[in-house]
A and B are shown apart, each in its own frame.
Chain A
């Protein structure tokens, strides 16, 4: 199907199953530990061996010698694979760094070898015995040092302008010119990257942990130089991804090479201390924001310039994205610069662009509101826009930011906030409130599915869509149940297998809307086929209560399927609505923090928000997506910092003890409210993404609350206590 005109009324609008808070259908497997993740697919790979990856100990240089003799002498060791014996490899276009180094090393902990042994313990020990000598080369690891010479990045919208920013900024009676920094961050999903690889002749099967099955097949094909048809990728359960598993990483490539060398299946998981330097991360940013406004608070000039770094050939963190769309203002400028750095590959992490961009923009808005003497909620309300401010002829498909702001403020008790910082004290705690808008683009991706009904009336959906914790299993089941008029427990959902039709996959918060739209398309095809089979006029057929009805004729769905069953398959493709209309998701975050007046420790006391993402397919799992984002925002604001050792070019604090993400005690009860809206320009589901929205702006709301609590404005994330103390000392 092609979605090229706004959706009219359709079976999804019945809302019998869709839109209801629904327990996850995969829940019982997850809570009993019986859902098999990649490394746990023991049944499919009998006789497997274990592989352990050896990473480079230098960030940049050249391998001069590899000596694996000591490793190979160890009991149980089957093979050691390095660039010297791996055979010819390609480099996937999607990869910035290669998955196996040699002779050149591009970043620290880049894979240089894999050791295969009978047991994990043997392989892990042997991996330590592979001796690799390097000529260490000088690398570039310091973004600040590289900033001045960093050009505008290549690509769409890396420089945008409208009007005359410079003149308008100069003329504005109230201005702000501030620079913010965000650090490198790590996805730190709980399941480290893991793969089981098995060859059958020249055909490869990977049971792996991956967000984008078709990309995985493509990238493995380009790396191993074998046809895509010879590769099967299976990933039914993914222990978190956040963008870190959008592309296959060294675990998959090295497992495949290891299995080929060992002539048997091989299991590989990255050790936790490897994950941060071996895989990808969100790059650090430097962001300069300038705002000019009339005294009445109307923004007249807005500029956002951002700098980040990546390996040669990589891409930027597009942190100015939201500034192109979020607020009005006639004179505008954005620039996205990219420096070359020799750190591990920078790439997408949850809400790439907006996540760090909103951390800067929404603090700048708070600072500007203060300069204007205006309430921060009000300041945002009066600068709302219903059109793309860079292309005013382009409207938003649906935009309810003001409702989110006002409803959120009311529910949170924003009117109780004292606008003067540092005035509220409870015991040793300085207490403050902060808010920020939430904004994240909405994207739709082509997505296909196959749907069948068997003679018992059981509906089976198959698509290569993944569920990375997002709730895909359940919303897909809800979609099929709604479309075919059956209860949820009559639907079986099969995901994450390259044998299934190619879906949108999980990324960029496009998965929910796009994959269910694909299932919608497949269900429409199936409905047509069933109607045809029954000789019904497909225009007036209804599917409800397990029956197919047309006029006064009604047939059980099971009976309609017959002994042989019946299936349909289709994809949802998109026309130009995404170009014709700006599509985005919105919200408003509200946070109360305490800052210890003595120690500068920050604790979040309350956190809530109101969000608008079109139809909420499953409010229960959507809430989870949003609180997950909000909490990642707490982490980004207060603790997450992948520290670069500028001498050696690597992330020093590369484990979960030293790279801090929030724990239970950091997170209060969170209130999430969704607006009851539909966006008919996004898909027949009338839904938009929600998986990243909760993160975008959350960190800024925390930072703004910290300022309100203690009067210390910190523009360098994370807001650790040493930075608070520095401010308290001078406050």
Chain B
């Protein structure tokens, strides 16, 4: 961990201003940032501790949905009675992630900003365009079993590791931010995470210093909520793939978002009109470019969807 200076922020705007300076970063739960700082994958020179800014409540939003403060911990969000009742897919996704200890610390905003678990990104001896632009991608042609199969680029095949974000994508959440000037904006979750392209180090739509203040969920969509996380180890493991499903919503077609497939939570709305798992998977994965090691994810998506649809039908 490189040396840094530390300050406790007193207001969101002040925090954003402090974090806009070169080398500065927010720290909230710290469960991913400190992990990476110890390895010097992340090397901030100034840390802005935002843990005392409040932003830790879940409130009704104006339009019948929920506004989740950026600093609401994953456990608190998963355990909230409104989330459990109306947004079960989100609660279940959160609970599938990490461990009880990590969920007690990890925040809503921080979860969205998790960085990839690609082992080459984590090892500073290895080339990685995300960590060191222009150094190359060791994952391509390397150990890629867990990595992305769609939306990849010649520069990067990393996945986004979050479960929570996959459920939020299925629920059409909106990320609300504030910048150093105090200006706020709302970013649909679909636009929040980016594909790697030729700038894999740019992972979200956030500008330097821009701080997430909350995530809003639209009014409940009803239906049967399922989050299926597929993994070899039964728990405390990242997804090989995951499916967030809202079946039989009050209005419109079912929704399916996927984790473990891409650099962002993966959802193809056009696929949701398909009638069966085969059709949905084929449409959602059109244009996929798996490696030999992760090609299994393609049939796995269809199989998991079939399982989810069967579970939903029985519910």
Contacts and interface: CB of A to CB of B under 8 A. Distances in A.
Interface of A: 57, 121, 124-125, 128, 271, 273, 428, 596, 598-603, 638-639, 643, 645, 647-648, 652-655, 657-658, 660, 662-666, 718, 720-722, 725-726, 729
A729 B122 contact: no
Given A57-B125, A124-B38, A658-B117, A428 B307 contact: yes
Nearest to B139: A652
Contacts of B307: 428, 596, 598-599
Contact of A125 (B3, B232, B237): B3
B143 A653 contact: yes
Interface string B140-161: 0111010000000000000000
Interface string B2-32: 1100000000000000000000000000000
Contact of A648 (B126, B238, B303, B304): B126
Interface string B275-315: 00000000000000000000010011001101100110000
Nearest to B127: A648
Given A121-B1, A273-B39, A653-B143, A720 B303 contact: no
A271 B238 CA distance: 22
Nearest to B233: A660
Contact of A598 (B2, B38, B122, B304): B304
A725 B1 contact: no
- Tell me whether chain B's interface is mostly helix, strand or loop, or mixed: loop
A645 B233 contact: no
A652 B128 CA distance: 14
B143 A726 contact: no
Main secondary structure of the interface of A (DSSP, over half): loop
Contacts of A125: 1-3, 40
Contact of A722 (B38, B141, B145): B145
B75 interface: no
Contact of B230 (A124, A601, A603, A654): A601
B65 interface: no
A603 B230 CA distance: 12
A666 B299 contact: no
B234 A603 contact: yes
A128 B119 contact: no
B232 A601 contact: yes
A159 B50 CA distance: 66
Contacts of B311: 428
Nearest to B98: A657
B142 A647 contact: yes
A652 B232 contact: no
A663 B233 contact: yes
Contacts of A720: 232
Contact of A660 (B38, B117, B143, B237): B237
A645 B299 contact: no
A720 B233 CA distance: 9
Contacts of A600: 300, 303
Given A598-B303, A653-B119, A725-B296, 18 more contacts: A121-B1, A125-B3, A125-B40, A428-B311, A601-B232, A603-B234, A645-B138, A653-B143, A658-B119, A660-B232, A660-B237, A663-B233, A664-B235, A665-B234, A665-B235, A721-B240, A721-B296, A722-B300
Contacts of A643: 143, 145
Interface of B: 1-3, 38-40, 117, 119-120, 122-126, 138, 141-143, 145, 230-238, 240, 296, 299-300, 303-304, 306-307, 310-311
Contacts of B124: 128
Contacts of A655: 122
Contacts of A271: 38
Contacts of B237: 660
A653 B230 CA distance: 19
Contact of A663 (B1, B236, B304): B236
A596 B230 CA distance: 10
A693 to B, nearest CB: 25
B135 to A, nearest CB: 13
A120 to B, nearest CB: 10
A512 B125 CA distance: 42
Nearest to A271: B38
B233 A666 contact: yes
25 contacts: A121-B1, A124-B38, A125-B40, A128-B40, A273-B39, A598-B303, A598-B307, A599-B304, A602-B232, A638-B232, A645-B142, A652-B119, A652-B123, A658-B117, A664-B235, A666-B235, A718-B232, A721-B240, A721-B300, A722-B145, A722-B296, A722-B300, A725-B296, A725-B303, A726-B296
A273 B310 CA distance: 41
Given A647-B141, A722-B296, A725-B299, A124 B1 contact: yes
Contact of A599 (B122, B300, B310): B300
Contact of A729 (B125, B231, B299, B304): B299
A434 to B, nearest CB: 18
Contacts of B142: 645, 647-648, 652
A598 B143 contact: no
